[in-house]
Amino acid sequence: MKTAIVGGGVIGGGWASRFLLNGWDVSVFDPDSQSERKMQNMLSNARRSLPSLYDFKLPDEGKLYFCDNLEEAVKNVEWIQESVPERLEIKQEVYKEIQKYCKKDTILASSTSGFKPSELNEGATRPEQILVCHPFNPVYLLPLAEVVPSNKTDPLIVKECSKLLNQIGMKPLLIRKEIDAHIADRLIEAIWREALWLVHDDIATTSEVDDAMKYAMGLRYALMGVFEHMRLAGGEQGMHHFIKQFGPCLKWPWTKLMDVPELTDEFVNKIASQSDDQAQGRSIQELEKSRDDTLVGILRALRKTERAAGKTINSHNHSIDKNFLFKDKLIETVNRQIPQTWTDVNGHMNETNYLEVCSQATDKFMEMIGMDVDFIKSTNESYFTVETHIRHVNEAREGMKIIAKTQVLEGKGKKLRLFHILETDKGVIVATGEHMLLHVSLKTRSSCFPSEKIEKNLLKYAEEHSSLPWPEGAGRAVGQSK
Amino acid sequence: MKTAIVGGGVIGGGWASRFLLNGWDVSVFDPDSQSERKMQNMLSNARRSLPSLYDFKLPDEGKLYFCDNLEEAVKNVEWIQESVPERLEIKQEVYKEIQKYCKKDTILASSTSGFKPSELNEGATRPEQILVCHPFNPVYLLPLAEVVPSNKTDPLIVKECSKLLNQIGMKPLLIRKEIDAHIADRLIEAIWREALWLVHDDIATTSEVDDAMKYAMGLRYALMGVFEHMRLAGGEQGMHHFIKQFGPCLKWPWTKLMDVPELTDEFVNKIASQSDDQAQGRSIQELEKSRDDTLVGILRALRKTERAAGKTINSHNHSIDKNFLFKDKLIETVNRQIPQTWTDVNGHMNETNYLEVCSQATDKFMEMIGMDVDFIKSTNESYFTVETHIRHVNEAREGMKIIAKTQVLEGKGKKLRLFHILETDKGVIVATGEHMLLHVSLKTRSSCFPSEKIEKNLLKYAEEHSSLPWPEGAGRAVGQSK
């Protein structure tokens, strides 16, 4: 399969990347001399991120051709994606030119965020192959594409376009009635205008507007959109009741932009029944549970990159970290609740997360001997795990409190051998983890001796634990009979 | 520390849950007889989700008291959170009553989404202790709280309120100039109105509006808000250039709500310089990289619960799954790229994700013998991992292609023993994983023999692999000398 990208800016480059990484060949036409460089940059971003969404290898990357003229780019391709500047007369000119060379059944799609397909196809030789296919930046990561046919677009072209969008991992949203700016950009613009007023009137800075968005509604919008969220806000009394009650508030002088549709019975019924269809019979309780599980996942993802709400949680997380030693000299290296996002099809904590807990315990121990993240970054020294053995003794489930008790089995020279006992707060052992680590230089990526300070701190625990009995299961191989 | 919750609905209950789970005692006053039941429901939701955000145990849960009268609830507490219905005269009445009994230095905060603090404090005995502290549903998960003082509010109360919000894991956003509906709800309402028009005019259904939101902008808003995103859209030429160029579009007749602030030079400069402050010197390239890493994390989180864009990626993920056998009879059970979200402080794939890859390999093998998710759910039979051994041989890094080759070491009766070799697409071994699994009934949670079909399928591979040499490292214990 082959696509032609006409106009290779941020949007055209995003399309090219998505097609290429899904195995399509791509030919590009853009008179800008910088176009090839910019597209290669974008492609290297995309190579890093798009495959990261999947658990399987994407098809082998397609071939990328930069063409000297439009004809070379658009002949004999299955799809032509136009992303030239947002000026109607330019776009109309480009379509006339493209249609001189392209096949009759090629999809001829525009990335326009504003124009209607019936405007784009004015004066075109074959309006039936033209439609809007409007993506969002970064095109290689965000799945939405608004598909907007004119009343002259061949239904087969619409169908084929939607099918192929699915094949490159996108979500086609068919817009049945063409309007300026389609759907998504109308919502974006509504927000954008209100945001400009807030800054204009010195109510808030751009940073405060962004905070207001990303610490609350942004988190909800990523999973629910506008109406699904309103359904939950309405609670058990349902959507009809909610709109009736809430509607009049919209008439209050709260924003600069005031015109609100009349809430006739008919209109209220329409919203309520469409919202019922969306819920597919799920109760408010089920919707709330799913919402919470997803928010937990999103928030934990934001923690990873220290972005937006993730920052707040990280600093709170830090503030609740505590050190604790048990009477038997073992160290409490983990004390936490098992998140619901760790549950798998077997109804208990996935094996991966047992190691995640052990890994947290190891990190905590390293921190206690002075090897925290700041130390690692400033000295370029760390420990690498070279071997791990996990025994599953009992099932750990969502919501359980889990504690790790850590014993140093060996801590001398380059070697560090740790044994973690994972138990519930009721004292039931659920698993053990045994780990051999080597002290390494992050520069040479080879083992080396730790600094005096680390060695001394480690030795203190190693000596203290040398009198403890050898823990059950330590030194055991998989499947060993006793 | 103790807080009083006056009005125990969805918002009051959310506040109570957040306070309790952060170790505060909470007294509740709400005349509704259903209030206690509803709050207990919300608290059990919160117990499941709030601790899941953290890697450490939250403080021991505080005590919850339901009070028969307002006096009992509000005396001797550090914080009173009012969440009674949104009617100004009711709220004003409640404040007069509260101030008869509460301490003078108690924070007296309202959850109001619409009223200004200078309206709330009209007729109050001590306006200096009253302010708005506006949260978002679900209060126990979303971190934002808009803190809005009136010009009579004691600055010490504002400071204390912000400090305590931090202590219960929230992000206080100080609104310096009180306006109706504060900041966040103005943005929400702008979207809400535009969405109502789209449904009203039959351009889109509620479901289509939601899709337009959650498959694109929603994902961006969760991490960037409005202006940070616009900065990226503007690219290398900067925010000033972007606003100048983009601004005029806002005047086009694209929405029902048209009033736009005049884009004077002064206003354009203001936005550009505020946006520069936000970027803190980071280049567009740095911002793009961080955006992509975070989007990958959010999208992978959405995959877990099959919500919104996660559904699209899951179905695409499914469509690229392939089976493959190597010449030496080993099975290719994983073939994927290592996501950037798997990188840790040591600059390579975290140990947890090595097991994640092994676990994916095991799942794939189970699928190949007929034990896929549908089979597990319908028969209530599965395999549990009881023991795992991982050897780290070389470093695996972000962006590398990784392949798992799987050998069946034992597959008879209840036992399944698998050995996965993880190598790069260049054939370099990075790790091995050895896993003992037991066939179990998910009803009794005990081991049992597999069905004939599964046993037969397993035996086929077990017999085929019985002629293969014993792999290096299999049967090894941690730290074994040879």
Residue B320 has pLDDT above 60, yes or no: yes
CB contact under 8 A, B390 and A388: yes
- Alpha carbon of A363: minimum distance to chain B alpha carbons (Å): 11
Residue B254 has pLDDT above 80, yes or no: no
Confidence of residue A246 (pLDDT cuts 50, 70, 90): low
Pick the residue of B57, B231, B417 with the most A CBs within 10 A to test the interface with A by mutation: B57
Pick the residue of A387, A407, A470 with the most B CBs within 10 A to test the interface with B by mutation: A387
Per-residue exposure over A242-262, b if at least 16 CB sit within 10 Å of its own CB, e if not: bbeeebebbeeebbbbeebbe
Residue A238 has pLDDT above 80, yes or no: no
Provide, rounded to the nearest whole percent, the portion of chain A with pLDDT above 90. Answer: 61
What is the rounded distance in angstroms from the CA atom of residue A416 to the CA atom of residue A449? Answer: 11
Residues of B in contact with A218 (CB under 8 A): 218, 220-225
CB contact under 8 A, A186 and B254: yes
Judged by a CB distance cut-off of 8 A, whether residue A356 touches chain B is: yes
pLDDT, tens digit, 9 for 90 and up, residues A154-168: 999 999 999 999 999
CATH code reported for the domain at A185-290: 1.10.1040
Of the candidate ranges A311-325, A393-407, B237-251, B316-330, the one whose mean pLDDT is the lowest: B237-251
Find, in chain A, the residue whose alpha carbon is nearest to that of B275.
A206
Judged by a CB distance cut-off of 8 A, whether residue A438 touches chain B is: no
pLDDT, tens digit, 9 for 90 and up, residues A98-149: 999 999 999 999 999 989 999 999 999 999 999 999 999 899 999 999 999 9
pLDDT, tens digit, 9 for 90 and up, residues B19-34: 999 999 999 999 998 8
Confidence of residue B57 (pLDDT cuts 50, 70, 90): confident
Q: Which of A142, A180, A297 sits opposite B219 (nearest CB)?
A: A142
Find, in chain B, the residue whose alpha carbon is nearest to that of A207.
B278
Judged by a CB distance cut-off of 8 A, whether residue A359 touches chain B is: yes
- Alpha carbon of B100: minimum distance to chain A alpha carbons (Å): 32
Judged by a CB distance cut-off of 8 A, whether residue B207 touches chain A is: yes
Q: What is the DSSP letter of B217?
A: I
Residues of A in contact with B386 (CB under 8 A): 391-392
How many interface pairs between A and B have CB atoms less than 8 angstroms apart? 600
Pick the residue of B186, B201, B354, B418 with the most A CBs within 10 A to test the interface with A by mutation: B186
Average pLDDT, chain B: 90
**Residue A182 is which amino acid?**
H
pLDDT of residue A327: 75
Q: Which of B294, B352, B474 sits opposite A355 (nearest CB)?
A: B352
**Could you check whether A2-182 and A185-290 share the same CATH topology?**
no
pLDDT of residue B48: 84
- Alpha carbon of B246: minimum distance to chain A alpha carbons (Å): 11
Contact B15, B111 (CB under 8 A): yes
pLDDT, tens digit, 9 for 90 and up, residues B77-91: 999 999 999 889 999
For range A432-436, the mean pLDDT: 98
Residue A195 has pLDDT above 90, yes or no: no
**Residue B335 is which amino acid?**
N
Provide, rounded to the nearest whole percent, the portion of chain B with pLDDT above 70. Answer: 95
Residue A255 has pLDDT above 60, yes or no: no
Question: Which of B7-11, B316-320, B477-481 ranks highest by mean pLDDT?
Answer: B7-11
H/E run at residue B415: strand B415-424
Residues of A in contact with B436 (CB under 8 A): 478-479
Residue B277 has pLDDT above 90, yes or no: no
Residue B11 has pLDDT above 70, yes or no: yes
For range B307-312, the mean pLDDT: 83
The second-level CATH assignment, the architecture, of B321-465 is Roll (3.10)
pLDDT of residue B115: 93
Judged by a CB distance cut-off of 8 A, whether residue B314 touches chain A is: no
What is the rounded distance in angstroms from the CA atom of residue B398 to the CA atom of residue B403? Answer: 14
For range B297-303, the mean pLDDT: 89
Residues of B in contact with A249 (CB under 8 A): 86, 114
| Nearest Cα residue to A358 out of A322, A334, A339 | A334
pLDDT of residue B296: 87
pLDDT, tens digit, 9 for 90 and up, residues A204-227: 888 899 899 988 889 889 888 888
Of the candidate ranges A357-366, B237-246, B349-358, the one whose mean pLDDT is the lowest: B237-246
pLDDT, tens digit, 9 for 90 and up, residues A316-357: 888 878 777 787 889 999 999 899 889 999 999 999 999 999
pLDDT, tens digit, 9 for 90 and up, residues A37-78: 989 988 988 998 898 888 888 889 999 999 999 999 999 999
pLDDT of residue B373: 94
Domain A322-465 has CATH 3.10.129.10: yes
Judged by a CB distance cut-off of 8 A, whether residue B428 touches chain A is: no
pLDDT of residue A74: 97
pLDDT of residue B224: 81
The second-level CATH assignment, the architecture, of A2-182 is 3-Layer(aba) Sandwich (3.40)
Residues of A in contact with B289 (CB under 8 A): 45
B347 or B189, which is more confident?
B347
Residues of B in contact with A259 (CB under 8 A): 193, 256-257
The domains of chain A are located at 2-182, 185-290, 322-465
Residue B5 has pLDDT above 60, yes or no: yes
pLDDT of residue B328: 83
- Dihedral over alpha carbons A408, A411, A416, A422 (to 10 degrees): 0
A262 or B147, which is more confident?
B147
